[in-house]
Amino acid sequence: MPGRVLSVASEYVPLVKTGGLADVAGALPGALRGQGWDMRTLIPAYPGLIAKAGAKAVVWSDPDLFGGPAQVLAGQVAGTDVLLLDAPHLYDRKGGPYGDPGDFPDNAKRFAALSWVAAQIARDGLPDGWLPDILHGHDWQAGFAPAYLRFSGDTRVKTVMTIHNIAFQGNAPAAMLGALRLPIEAFNSDTLEYYGHLSSLKAGLATADAITTVSPTYAAELMRGDFGMGLEGLIAHRSADLYGILNGVDDTVWNPETDPEVKPYGKTTLKRKAANRDALLAEFGLQDTSGPLAIVVSRLTDQKGIDMIVDTAADFVGMGGTLAILGSGEQRLEEAMKDLVKAHPGKIGLRIGYDEALSHRMFAGGDAVLVPSRFEPCGLTQLYGLRYGCVPVVALTGGLADTVIDANPMAQQANVATGVQFHPVDALAFGQALRKLMELHADSKGWAAMQKRGMSQALGWDTSALAYAQLYESLTA
C-alpha cells in the first residue's frame, strides 16, 4: 500500500537550482501524489529560502549539529511539503549551494549534516505524527543518509539512493571519520573506504536497499569502467538492486501551448515555429539562412562536449547553419565561444550565463538542439527539444540513447525517427551528424513530420512516477 517518503536533496525547484537534480527533486512529490505516496523533501536552508517557503513551524532541533545550533522548519512550495534545515554555520553564506567560485572547504561536513538530520527524521518521525516508510537520497549530498540510518540499527525504514551524476562522489579525507560521526569499523572497502578516502556516494550505494539512476542505459553504463568512475565494481555487485528510471519533464512548465516565457513569440505549434524562429534570430542578432537554426543550452564543459561544438562550428555555419548558444562554465570554453562569435558574426550568437526565460524562447524558436555530451545520465535538454519541435542531435550515451530515436534508414522508413544520434562520441562523428541534420532539414515535409513526432512523445512524469511507486511498494511489501 502507498505510504510516506522522506526525500533528501541539496537542490529543489523552484527554490534552488544548479542542474537537473533540482528539477527531479522538485517534480517527484507532485508526481508521486498521483500514485498515493506522500513525499516530503528535506533541503538545506540556503539564504532566503525560509521566506520563500513560508517555513515557520519548527519540527526538529539540535543545539549542536556538526558545530552549531540547527533546526528544521516546515513549509510549502507549489502545494508540496518541504523541510528546511536551518543551520546558519553551515548554509548561511554567499555563493551557490556548493561554493562560488570553487567548492566550500567544509562541504563534506555541510552535507553530512543534511544526511544526519534526514536519518534522525526518518527514524523518529515528525511532531505531527508523520513517520516515513522510505528514505530517498539524491546524489552524494545525501549519500550518508542511508548509512547513518543503518549504522543506528534501524531496519524499519527502507532506503533508496539515486545517482544523478556519478562524476560527483563527495570524497573527503579519512581523518574526518570521527568528525562526521561515522563508525571506524565501517571504514572498509565494502562500505565507506574509497581509495583511502571517504566517499559519501559510495556509502549510500553500499548501504541503501535499492539504487536507482535516471535512465536504463546509464544504469548499464555505470557497471563499466568507462562510466563508473571507480564505483563500477560496487554497482555491478549490486546490479540486482539497480533500477534505471527515466526522468520526466514538468509538462506544465515546459508546455509549448501555454508557455508564458515565450509570450513575445507566441505559443509553439509548427504554424508558429517560423515566427518564433525569426524572433530568436533577432534576439541573438543572427542572419536568416536556409539552413537550420541550432541552439545550445548547456554548461560549457568538456563533459557536455562543448569542445566538439568549437571544433565543428565553422563547418556547420559554412554549410548554411546558424547557432545560438546560452551557457557558462569553464573559462577556456567561454573564451572559445566568444572567439567563434568574432569569427562568424551574424552566424553565431552567444549569451554567457543562464536565463531560464531565454532558454524557453530558444527551444520555441530553434530548429535543432545540440547535445554532444560524452556522458549524460538522463538529460532534460533533449526532452525540452522534443516538446518544442526543436529536433535533438545527441551522442549515443545514457538517457540520450533512451529518449531520441535516430533518423537511420529503417527508422525513417517506419516513420518513427525523432532526432539524430551519433557514435563514437568525438568531433568527427559529431560533424557527420551535423551534415545529416542539414540533409534532414532540407526535406521540409520530412522535417515537419519528425518535429510532430517529437512533440507527440509522452515525456511527463506519469510513467516515471509509477516506476518509483512500484519500487517503493516492493521495498515495503
Q: Is 253 among the domain residues?
A: no
| SS3 (DSSP) at 298 | strand
Whether residue 214 is contained in a domain is answered as yes
Residues 63-76 have a mean pLDDT of 97
C-alpha cell at 464: 516515471
Do 89 and 38 share a structural domain? yes
Residue 102 banded pLDDT, cuts 50, 70, 90 = confident
One domain, residues 351 and 204: no
The reply to whether 254 falls in a domain is no
| Domain co-membership, 26 together with 71 | yes
Predicted pLDDT of residue 354: 86
Same domain, 295 and 222: no
- Supply the range of the domain harboring residue 176: 4-248+461-476
Contact status, residue 177 vs residue 184, Cβ threshold 8 Å: yes
**Beta strands at 193-194 and 171-173: parallel, antiparallel or unpaired:** unpaired
C-alpha gyration radius of the chain: 23
Interval 120-165: pLDDT, tens:
999 999 999 999 999 999 999 999 999 999 999 999 999 999 999 9
> Would you say 267 is a known binding-site residue?
no
371, part of any domain: yes
- The domain that holds 337 is classified in CATH as 3.40.50.2000
Quick one: pLDDT at residue 19?
83
Q: Are 219 and 129 part of one and the same domain?
A: yes
Residue 255 domain-assigned (yes or no): no
% the chain with pLDDT above 70: 98
pLDDT value of residue 473: 97
Do 238 and 91 have their domain in common?
yes
Residue 292's closest CA among 404, 371, 369? 369
pLDDT at 195: 94
The predicted model scores a pTM of 0.92
Grid coordinates representing 414 are 517506419
Is it the case that residue 176 has pLDDT exceeding 80?
A: yes
Quick check: is 313 in a domain? yes
**What is the per-residue pLDDT for 263?**
63
> How far is residue 386's CA from residue 403's CA, in Å, rounded to a whole number?
9
Q: How many residues make up the chain in this entry? A: 477
Residues 336 and 319 in one domain: yes
In a domain, 81, yes or no: yes
**CA dist 393 → 219, 223, 295, 360, 396 (Å):** 22, 26, 10, 18, 10
End-to-end CA distance of the chain: 8
Could you tell me if 241 and 345 lie in one domain?
no
Into how many domains does the chain fold? 2
- Put residue 426 in one of left, alpha, beta given phi > 0 → left and psi -120 to 50 → alpha: beta
User: What does the pLDDT average to over 421-443?
Assistant: 98
pLDDT band at 193 (very low <50, low <70, confident <90, very high): very high
Rounded distance between C-alpha atoms, residue 377 and residue 365, angstroms? 26
Q: Are residues 264 and 283 in the same domain?
A: yes
Give domain status of residue 66, yes or no. Answer: yes
Read off the pLDDT of each residue in 153-180 and give the average, rounded to a whole number: 96
Question: How confident is the model over 262-295, as pLDDT tens digits?
Answer: 865 555 567 788 889 999 999 999 999 989 999 9
Same domain, 64 and 207: yes
pLDDT value, residue 264:
56
Same domain, 119 and 241: yes
Say whether both 66 and 185 belong to one domain: yes
At 367-411, the pLDDT tens digits run: 999 999 999 999 999 999 999 999 999 999 999 999 999 999 999
Task: Note the pLDDT tens digit of each residue in 351-368.
Answer: 999 898 999 999 999 999
Using alpha carbons, list the distances in angstroms from residue 53 to 5, 11, 25, 58, 84.
20, 14, 15, 13, 9
- The one-letter amino acid code at 148 reads Y
